[in-house]
Structure 1
Amino acid sequence: MDETKRNSLRHEVSTPYSLVALSHLLLLLLSPSKTKAAKSAKISLPGCPDSCGGVAIPYPFGIGLDCSMSEAFNVTCDATLNGKPTPYMTVRGLQILNISIPSGQARVNNLISYQCCNITTMKVEAFNKFVILEGTPYRFNHEKNKFVVIGCDIAATVFFWSGEDRVSEEAAGCISYCGRLEYLINGSCSGLGCCETSLPKGINGINVQFDESYNSWLYYFNHCGYAFLTEVDNEFEFDTRYITTDELTGKKRPVLLDWTVGNTTCDVARTNQSSFACKSKNSNCSSIAPGYLCNCIDGYEGNPYLEEGCQDIDECANQNSCSNRGNCHNTQGGYYCSCPFGWRHTRNNSRQCEFNVVPLAIGTCAAIVALSFLGISIYAILERRDLSKIKEKYFQQHGGWILLEKIKSNQEFGFTIFTKQQIEQATNNFDSANIIGHGGQGTIYKGTLRDHIAAIKKCNIVDENKKKEFGKEMLILSQINHKNIVRLLGCCLEVEVPMLVYEFIPNGTLFHRIHNKKQGSCISLATRLIIAQESAEALAYLHFSTSPPIFHGDVKSANILLDQNCTAKVSDFGASILAPTDEAQFVTFVQGTCGYLDPEYVQSHQLTDKSDVYSFGVVLLELLTRKPAIDFDAPEEERSLSSRFLCAMEVNKMHDLLDNEIKCEDDMEVIMKIAELAKECLNMKGEERPTMKEVAEELDRIRKLKRHPWGVEYNPEEIETLLDEGSHNIESEYSRYFNIDKEAEESIAVGR
C-alpha cells in the first residue's frame, strides 16, 4: 500500500490532536466575549403575513388556511370595519384584540347582550350574543373574566355547554336592584344598578338569558338591562348613566380566551414528532387539558411553534444586567458578568464588582492556573498521542490495513471495523450487567451498535503466530454465509486482543436448553434430530464449502445457539483456524473445552476436521442423554460422558444412559442409529471417523426414518419410472412416499 493511501486510511481510523487548535481554544477562554445581538425572531410561517390592522398574528394562528396550524386557528383579515383591517377568528367570528403565545391566551371583543323596553310601543327588544366554543381549542378563562349585569331589577344568567349534545347548564348569574336613582354609586357594582359574579372552571360556551319574573320595567328612568362577560383587568367601572341611557347597546367588551394545541398530553404528543407542535429545539411543553402549550425555555424568547422561533435573549442589551463596572457577556440562554483587572465579584452578588486590594496575588494565581492548565492539556495531548500510536500499532499488527483496504474497495463487503470507543459505548464500558455468556476464549457481551443489537466477544488471549494473519482470517470468516452459522459482523482491532462482533441470537444456547431443566421444557426426539442435523450441516459447510476450509476447534453445545424458531446456529470461532497448508502452521498449544477435546488432538497438537467430528459426537451424546460432557461431581471413572457411553455400548446398556423423555419403543431404532453414529464420531483414530458431510447425510437419513418408520423411500426418479411402467400400485406407492405420518409431523412442529 502506498504512503499517500495509507495516510488517507489512517485519517479515517484515528483523530489527530493539534497544539494550534488548543492554543485557539485557550485564547477563546481567556479573552472577553463580545455582546451579541439577539436575532429578530419570525412569528409566522415563511411567506405568511404576521399582522392584521396592527394586531400581531403569531403561528399557530395564521391569516389563511395555509398559514395556520388548523382551521381552528385560521384568522380572517377584514377591512369592512371603519375601513381598517380587523382580524377575526374564522371559526366563531370573534374580533381578535391580541394573541399571547407564552400564556396561551387570546383577547377578543364580544357584543353585550341587552333587553330593552320600547317606551312608545311597550314591546321588549332583546339581543343575546351567545358563543359556543365546544369542538374548538378555546375556553373562557374563569379567573380573568367576570359576568356583569346592569339595570334595575334585572336578573340574568349565563349558561355553558358540555358534551357533544351541547347540554346547557347554568354557570353563573346575579340580580341588580335600583330602588331610587340617587342610591346608585359610580364605580360600585355591589348589587345596586350593577352586580357581578365570577365564573366556574371549564366554560366552553355562553348564552345569556334574562329572567322575566324580575325584569318588571317599572322604573321610569330605566328601560334597558344589560348582561355580558368582560375581562377583570380591563378597568370596567359602573357608571349611573348606563341606567338612564342606552349607551351600552351595541357595544363590545374584551373577553379573555384560553387556547391549547392538540388534544393530548405532551408525553403522548411527543411520540409523533411530525405532528408535535413544539418545533423549536429551545422550547418545552406543558400539558394543559384538553391539549398542551409550547413555550421557549428560560433565556430564550419568540415563537416555540416554529423551528427557529425561540431566539436567545440578549440580556446584555439591558444596561442594568451587570452593575458597578461589570462587563456583560451574553451566552446562549443566559449571560454572565466579569470584572476588570483589579476588581472582583462581591461576595453575595456575581453581577456586581468591587475593588480588590490584592490584584497582583490574583493575577499571579491566575497565571499559575493558566500555566498548570496548559501543562495538563499538553500532557493530555501527549498521552492521547501515545494512546493513538498504541491503537495504530495494534491495528496494523492485526492486519487492519488489509481489512480496511478491502472495505474501501468493495462497498458491498458486509463487514465493519469498529473503534474501541464504539465497543465501549455499546457495552456501557463492558458493564457486567451486559454479560450474556462466558467462553473458553473470552467473555460475550450484549451491546447496541448502530441501532442493532449484537453479541460482542472480548477475547482473553490470541495466538502470537496468528496476529499477522488475523486480518486475512477475518476476511474469510466474514464471507461465511450459511443459515446455521452465526454471522460475523465486524471486529475491533485497536486493542491488544481483537474483539469480535456477531449477530445477536436471542434464544440462548443448546447447552442451556438441554441442561437447565427448570426452564427447559420437554424436548422431543424430532427437535433434537433437527438441531443435530442443522449443526452438522453448518460444520460440513465450514469443512467443505469454504476456501480454505475452516476447522471450528471448539464444537460444544454451549457454542450452538438457538434462535426464536429454535433453528441451530453454530457460533464462537475464537479457537477456529484455517486449514494449514504446511506443518509449520499447526497450533503449538491445545485450545478447546474439557470433555469435548479430541484425544488425538491433545497428543499431537494438530487440529483437523476430524477433531470437530469427535467434539460433535459428544454433542450427540448430550442430545441423547441430557447429561453434561463432563461431570466433576461423579466418580472419576464416570466423569467423562464419552467414556461412559462407549462402555455402555460395549455391554449393551445404552438404554440406561438415555434421557427418559425420549425412551420410546417406537423410537429405539432411530435412537440406536444416532448412538451408532456418535460411536463412529468418537473413534480414537481420527482417520476412521466419518467426515462432517457424512455425519450430516446420515442424520438426514435418520430424520427420514423417524418420519417414515416403515423404512421405505422413493425418490422422484423412481416415481417417474413407476408411472412409465404403468404400475397399478402407483397410487399407493406415491402415498407411501409423500404422506408423512401425522403424529411424527406434529411432534416436529411442537419441537420447533
Structure 2
Amino acid sequence: MIPKLMFQILLLLGSIKAQGQAATDQLAKTGCQQKCGNVTIPFPFGIGPAGCFLDDWYEVACPNGTNTPRLKKLELQVLNITLPFYYGPGGDAMITVNFPVIYSRDCSRNQTRESVMLEGSSFVIAQDRNIFAAVGCSRVALIENTKSAVVGCKLSECSSRADGTSIRPNSDCSGLGCCQTTTTFGLQSFNVSFRKDEAASGAVEGCSYAALVDRAEFSPSRMHALEQEGYVPAVLQWGVANTTHFGINLLHDSRRGYGHYYCSSRSMSDSYIVMPFMQCFCYPGYDGNPYLGNGCQDVNECEDHDILKNCHGKCVNTKGYYKCVDGSRAVKLAMMVIGGFIGALLFLLSMRWLRRAIRRRKKMKLKQKFFKQNGGLLLQQQLSSPEGNVEKSKLFDSKKLERATDNFNENRILGQGGQGTVYKGMLMDGKIVAIKKSKVLDEGNVEQFINEVFILSQINHRNVVKLLGCCLETEVPLLVYEFIPNGTLYQYLHDPNEEFPVPWDVRLRIATEVAGALSYLHSAASIPIYHRDIKSTNILLDEKYRAKIADFGTSRSVALDQTHVTTLVQGTFGYLDPEYFQSSQFTDKSDVYSFGVVLVELVTGQKPISSLRAQEGRSLATYFIISMEEDRLFDILDPQVLNEGKKDEIITVAHLAMRCLNLNGRKRPTMKEVAMELEAIKRPSHPSDEQQINRERQATFEIDGVEAHDVAFRSAEFEAGDGISSMTDVYPLLSSDTW
C-alpha cells in the first residue's frame, strides 16, 4: 500500500514539474503556431489568425513548404527573435532579419535603390548590434532618413596598376575601397545615397554598394562578396507601444511591477536611453514570455548543479529565488521568526494606538479652534447673559450631522444662497431636520451668525421656525432647524408649476399668522426683535400650510427703551423701507413696511419686482399705490382673490396694506395693530369692531405734502438705486424632491 502511494506521489510531482516546464516553454499564445522552420515566434509576434499577434506590425507569415518566416507588413525575412531579459548586458528584445544591400545607379543589378522604412512601428535599428559598411571608390555613402543625412562613411579613391586593373580594397575596410561606421540611436529608416567625393581627384570607378550588417556577421572579406548576395543579416530592437497591455497602462505604470514581470521604456543595455516603446521583462528568478498572461513562471534554481554545489544544507526553491536551509538551525530560525513576528505585531499595535491618540488629540484641537473661530465664545457669552436661554440651544456632534446628511451629499440640498447651503437630514431618532451649512465666516459674518443663534434661542412661537441646535466644531458652522416641508410663500404664490391655487381664506390666514409672529417679536418677546428681512421667501409653509418666519441672520434685538437700530443698509429690493434707506435707522415700522409688501403680494399674486410692469410700476409697492390712487384695485387683484374673497374684506386688507406702505414711518400702524385688524377681518365679533373696520375702509392714504404719483415715482426710483446691500435669498428649510 505504501509503495503504491509513494509511486502516485512521484507521478503527481512529475506531472506538476512537467506542467511548469510546459508553461515556461509556452511563448506563443495558446492555440497558435509557435515555430516556423527553426525560428521560434513568441507573442506579441504570431502566425495565423488576428488573435495570435498583437497588431499588423507583428504578424509573421510562414508559407507552407518554405519554413521561411517573414514579417508580413515589412516584407523582411525573420532569422531569429529574442525576448528581453531582466539582467545582464544585451537584455533588450531583438529580431534578426535579412536587410537588402543597396547599390548605386551604375550597378548592373535591377533593384538598386531598395530601402527599409520602420516609421510608425515599434522597431528601431539596433545601434550597438549593427555595422554600416560600403564598398566603392571616390564616393561618400550616407544613410538618410526623411529629414537629413544621419550617418555615413567615406570611400577613398582606388589606385590603378600599370596594366589598368583596379587595386582591390584594403582588407580592414578602413576607407580604401571599403569603409565602415556605426549607426545612431532610434534610427527607423534605411535608405542609402551615394555622392561623389569632391575632394577626390580621380573619377568614380565602377559599382558602389552598401549594407547594414549584424556586427556578429560582419567581416571585411565578406563585404567584398556582398555584390552578389543581395541580402545580409541585420538586427532590429523591438518593443510594444505605450498602450494598455493585459489591463495595465504601460505608459503610466512603467516603473511598477505587476505579477512577475516589469515594463520600462528605458534600454536595459543602457538605462539612460529612453526608447520610443516599452519592453517587458520577467523578474530574476522567473522565465517565460512577459507579454502573455501569467507568462513568467518561477524557475527552480535547485535544479541548477552550480547552485547545488554552493548550497550548504538543503536547497529549497522559493518564488523567484531559493534558500539553503540548515536542518540543525531550523528550530532556532523558526523561534527567531516567531519572536520577530510577535515583536513586530506588538510594535505595530502600539504605533496604531499612538497614531489614534495623536489623531484624536489633533481632532480635539481642531474642533476647539473651529469653535473659537465660529464664535463659540461669543455665543457662550450671550447665552450666559440674563437675556439668554442656554436650555433652548443644543450643541450637535459633527459626526452625527454628517451621517444625517450622508456627508452633505448634493442630493440632500434644499436650497442655496448668500449665507450658506441648507441640507435635508435625518437624525438617529428618525426626526427629519434642515441643516444650514454656513459659508466660511469672516469676522463680520461671525457676529451675524451668532446673532441668529442667540435670537432664535429666545423665540418660542408657533409661527417662527424653531432652532433645534447648532454645531460650531466644524470648519463652517452648522444650524439645525425643524424641517418645513411645503417650501416658501414665494414659491406658493409665484411658481407657475404650483398645482394648487391659493384660496383667499388661506392667504388671509397666512397674513394673520405672519403679522402675529412679528407682533410677538416686536412687543411680546423678552427682548424686542427686529427681523430686518421680511419677504415671501423667508416665510415658510408647514404641512398644514401654516406660516413660519425664518432666516434671522440680519435680525437685531433692541433694549426696551430703544426705538431704532442704526446699521449699514441691508435688505432685499422690493421690500426695503424707503425711510430706512434714507436714514440708515431701522425701526419696528421698517418691518411693517416689508410686511405691507408681502400683504400686497398675497392680494395681487404679483412679484415684488417685475420688469414686465411699466418703469414707474416695477416696484410692486409703487404699482399698488398708483393703482389705489387711480381706483383700480380690482384690476390688479389675483383672479383667485377676486373670485373667492368678499369685497369688503379685500378693500379692508388693501387699505391696511396702504397704511403699512406709508412713506412716513410714524403714520404706519404697529405690527400689533396690524395683527389685531387682520384677526378682526377673519372673525368680527362685536359691533364696535365692525364700525372700526368700516372706518378703516374709508381711510385714505395720507402723505405729507407729496402727491401720491410723486411718491410712487420716488419709491420706484429708490428701489432700483445703487448703494444697497441686497441679501441673497437663502431658503434654509425648504423641502426637496431629491431627498
Taking structure 2 as the reference length, what is the TM-score of the superposition?
0.48
Structure number, greater radius of gyration: 2
Of structures 1 and 2, the one scoring higher in RCO (CA 8 A, sep 6+) is: 2
Taking structure 1 as the reference length, what is the TM-score of the superposition?
0.48
